[in-house]
Amino acid sequence: DAGVIQSPRHEVTEMGQEVTLRCKPISGHNSLFWYRQTMMRGLELLIYFNNNVPIDDSGMPEDRFSAKMPNASFSTLKIQPSEPRDSAVYFCASSFPGGRTEAFFGQGTRLTVV
């Protein structure tokens, strides 16, 4: 397996534009996590899916953020409209549920909103 695949790797956009980040989890993994990493706040969990269903979205900062998982092999994180304070590295991770195995992370998407 190629691991967790995220796209794009880098995204630069203007304030107010819509941004969509994509994630392909490891085949067979039922749990998917979206994290945001900044120097100030470290790694923050945004949302967690289990079997394509959002289990906990309490970390989603505002209504401008939304996430979907239409099937077991694809998830998106959308920011609309984007703001400069959304600039961060966004990571997707996947694992088998139940905590029996490790969580594997993608390489991240570095988002810059100007």
* Residue 18 or 44 with smaller CB distance to other proteins: 44
* Residue 13 or 37 with smaller CB distance to other proteins: 37
| Shortest Å distance, C-beta 16 to other proteins | 27
* Residue 15 or 55 with smaller CB distance to other proteins: 55
* Residue 81 or 104 with smaller CB distance to other proteins: 104
| Shortest Å distance, C-beta 77 to other proteins | 16
Residues near other proteins (CB under 8 A) are 31, 33, 35, 42-43, 45, 48, 50, 55-56, 91, 93, 97-108
CB 74 within 8 A of CB 95: no
Query: Can you tell me whether residue 85 is helix, strand or coil?
Result: helix
CB 13 within 8 A of CB 112: yes
Q: From 60, 80, 71, select the one nearest 32 (Cα to Cα).
A: 71
CB 83 within 8 A of CB 64: yes
Type and span of the H or E element at 95:
strand 88-95
| Shortest Å distance, C-beta 96 to other proteins | 11
